[in-house]
Each structure stands twice: as structure tokens, then as C-alpha cells.
Amino acid sequence: MSDIPHLPQGFDIASEFPIVARWRFFNHAGVAPISARAAAAIEQFAREARDDAYLTGRWYQRAELVRRAAAQIINADAAEVAFTKNTSEGIAFVANGLQWQAGDQVISTAVEYPSNVYPWMNLARRYGVEHIMVGERDGRIDAADIFAAVTPKTRMIALSQVEYASGFAHDMAAIGRFCRERGILFCVDGIQAGGVLPVDVKSMNVDFWSADGHKWMLGPEGAGVFYCRRELLNKLEPEIGWMNVVNASDYGHYDFTLRSDAKRFECGSYNIPGVLALGASLDLLLEVGIDLIHRRTLALGDYLCDQLRQRGYQLVSSRRAGEASGIVSFVDPQRRHQQIIQQLEKQNIIIVEREGRLRASPHFYNTADDIDALAAALPKA
Ligand SMILES: Cc1ncc(COP(=O)(O)O)c(C=O)c1O
């Protein structure tokens, strides 16, 4: 427990995250609380919109700062980042934007969240694309198993950076390198990683990365980010509306010239309150630093795992270096999961069940005391 890195000096948990007054919240892998700063951004937007309509808020200029912060979180250039309404929309940009041939293969895992399954099943239905799902073993997916599934027909590997039900973090650098060396596209559902794990789309050789803000990035639902590697921007057919073009504000002079940056994927008006609130939380995350957030969240998770083992729970999540994430999945040998969740909720402690496993996902602002309270509230297994 003494190994848990400290929060920055003066960081006031209760004012940054008012949720701590009511809940010990361990479901950041589900829908996270928004930060107080994000709530303030929404309130500010509401006041501006109510009192001045769009006249004083400079919302679209402020959104550009959010784009820059989002780019920084994943080490992209702002010109490679588009706003989306959620993770699924970004993945749909990829699935629906590329030209597919019958027999093309997309490889993912058999334990993906459906946002990274149905788009590929849909391609199978529409074009005869083959969707291959590599299985999990003991809460892990060996990169070697993924590589073994690759054939000359493999067009894309599409993975969650962190798997939602096990918390397994893929070796992004190894998979990205493998893909780039073979001309295979690498598409990543990043929602379980962005804001808590280091993401470097450049060194990880990621081609496409998509995440909504409502988990580890501590934004509201419905405002997400999509990264498309610069060299691929013109390889994806965008959904077309009024805003994708160079002279979008020259309404009556129709000039269908697509923008050269990632804004070419943005077909119309933004979810401004969502984007500005996401920006406020991203600024907070960047201020604290992703490296500290990552180290602290892993240390809290490790501390929880120690206590779970002592209490007789079976750990599903790999805690090996590079494979651990913000998610701790575990099993009660007596399978009293729903009963446990309800008991905890009565004590204002929130965990969930996913795929037959209990799942606790603390974020960096949780404390060792929170973990102690969770462990003490869990019945001996
Ligand atoms: C891995 C993963 N992808 C995507 C989502 C959500 O997708 P969206 O942002 O499209 O609602 C979740 C939510 O639980 C998830 O765990």
C-alpha cells in the first residue's frame, strides 16, 4: 500500500470529484462520473446558450483546444483527430469507409465488446469479409495466437486496447509493429485505455483509434474522439454532410472539396456541451499526467488484487507487467455475484458484473482507503 504513488501536492479529490462524498465508485470501465470541471463546462455552456445563444461562447474555437488535448492524450497531431458521438461511430468510419473485397479477413478477439464485433459481422454479411475471433485463455489473449491467425488475406487487426471483461491490455507496440511490417491495418477500440493507460498511436503504429469520453477520460456520454493516421485520411470514405468540406461556412457556394485533415469525417454540428466537458476533464488528466495516473491506478489495482486473493477470490485479470490495466476482474467461487453487488451498493460501493466476473475499475482519484472499504465489504469467498 505504501507503493501507491501520491497525487500531486494540493490535489483536492473532493472538489475535483464530488462523487466521493456519496460513493466509493469502482466502475470507470462502465460509465464514469464526470469531473467537477466537466460539470462546470456544461453549466457554463448552458448559461451561454440560454442567455446569448451562440453569440459569446466561441464554442467552435474552444473545441479546437479540446481537439489538441485529445491529440496529446494519444500522441497524435490535432489534424488526425475528429470528434465523434461515441466509440462505435469511429469504428463505423473504418468499417464503412474502406473498400472491402470478398475474402478479406478482419481479425479480432472472441471477447470484444460488441462495438468491435458487429461492424465486422456486418461486413461479412455485406461483402463476404471473413471475421476471425481469437479466443481468450485464462483471462489473456496471447499476441502469438493473434499472429497465428493471420493469412495473406488479412486486411486488418481490430482490437480493444484493453478488453472490457478481463482488463487484459494487449501489447500494442508488438501488434502494431507486426501489422505495419505486413501492410495490415491496425484499428483500436481505445475506450478502456484512453485517459488511464499511455497511448502513443505513433510508436504503437496504430492506424485508427476510437473512444468515447465517458469512461477513463471522465467526460459525458456522447462526445468521443477518432484518430486516423495522416497517410490514411484520404483512404476512408467519410459520411458526407455540410461540414466535411474546405469552405463549409460558404453555404450557398457549393464546392465539394473535402478537407485534408480529420475534420473531413465531421459531417455536421458538434455536441458542444459534450465536447467542452470532455475538454475540461482532458485538461485535468493532462495536468495530473497520464504517467502518474497510470502508475497510481495500477498500484490501486495491485493493492485490491492482494486483498482479493487473501479473501479467497479467483483473479481473472492478468497483473503481469504490460498486461494489467485499470480493470480488475475476479470471481467468487460460490458465484454470489449479484448478491455481492447488491450488498455493496447498500454500502454505497459500486462494482459490476461482466461476463460472469465481478469487475472493479478504480481510477487515479480513488484511494487506498476506498480499496480497504471495498475489500472489507466483500464477503470471504
Ligand atoms: C471496449 C468497449 N468499447 C466500446 C464501448 C462503448 O461504446 P460506445 O462509446 O460506442 O457507446 C464500451 C462500453 O462499455 C467498451 O467497453
What tens digit of pLDDT does each residue of 168-190 get? 999 999 999 999 999 999 999 99
State the average pLDDT over residues 199-204: 98
Return phi, psi of residue 120, to 5°.
-80, -35
CA nearest ligand 1 atom 15, residue: 113
Q: Is 100 in the pocket of ligand 1 (CB under 6 A)?
A: no
Task: For residue 225, list its beta bridge partners.
Answer: 83, 211
Q: Taking the domain 13-26+289-377, which CATH number applies? A: 3.90.1150.10
Structural fold of domain 41-287 = Aspartate Aminotransferase; domain 2 (3.40.640)
Q: Is 271 in the pocket of ligand 1 (CB under 6 A)?
A: no
Q: Which atom of ligand 1 is nearest to the CA of 212?
A: 9
Q: What's the half-sphere exposure (Cβ side, CA atoms, 13 Å) at 317?
A: 33
Quick one: pLDDT at residue 2? 58
Alpha carbon of 381 to ligand 1 centroid (Å): 30
Which grid coordinates belong to 205?
Answer: 503504429
For a ligand 1 pocket test, name from 87, 208, 210 the mutation site with the most ligand atoms within 8 angstroms of its C-beta. 87
Quick one: pLDDT at residue 381? 84
Alpha carbon of 212 to ligand 1 centroid (Å): 7
Cα–Cα distance measured from residue 191 to residue 203, given in angstroms and rounded to the nearest whole number: 19
Give the H or E element holding residue 82. strand 81-84
The predicted-structure confidence for 18-37, as pLDDT tens digits, reads as follows 999 999 999 999 999 999 99
Helices (H), the chain: 13-16, 36-52, 59-74, 87-97, 118-127, 143-149, 172-182, 272-288, 290-310, 337-346, 368-377
Q: With pLDDT > 90 as the criterion, what percentage of the chain qualifies?
A: 99
Which grid coordinates belong to 46?
Answer: 448552458
Cβ atoms of 275 and 301 closer than 8 Å: no
The predicted-structure confidence for 60-74, as pLDDT tens digits, reads as follows 999 999 999 999 999
Domain boundaries, the chain: 13-26+289-377, 41-287
How many Å is the maximal CA-CA distance in the chain? 70
Alpha carbon of 331 to ligand 1 centroid (Å): 22
Q: Which atom of ligand 1 is nearest to the CA of 30?
A: 14
Cβ atoms of 304 and 375 closer than 8 Å: yes
Amino acid at site 303: Y
Q: What is the pTM of this model?
A: 0.98
The predicted-structure confidence for 133-166, as pLDDT tens digits, reads as follows 999 999 999 999 999 999 999 999 999 999 999 9
Which grid coordinates belong to 27?
Answer: 466502475
Alpha carbon of 87 to ligand 1 centroid (Å): 6
Task: Please provide the size of the chain in residues.
Answer: 381
Instruction: Return the sign of the alpha-carbon dihedral for residues 329, 334, 338, 339.
Output: negative
Q: Provide the 10 A C-beta neighbour count for residue 317.
A: 28
Cα–Cα distance measured from residue 206 to residue 183, given in angstroms and rounded to the nearest whole number: 12
Residues in CB range of 278: below 8 A, 6 or more apart:
38, 66, 70, 213, 217, 219, 220, 223, 225
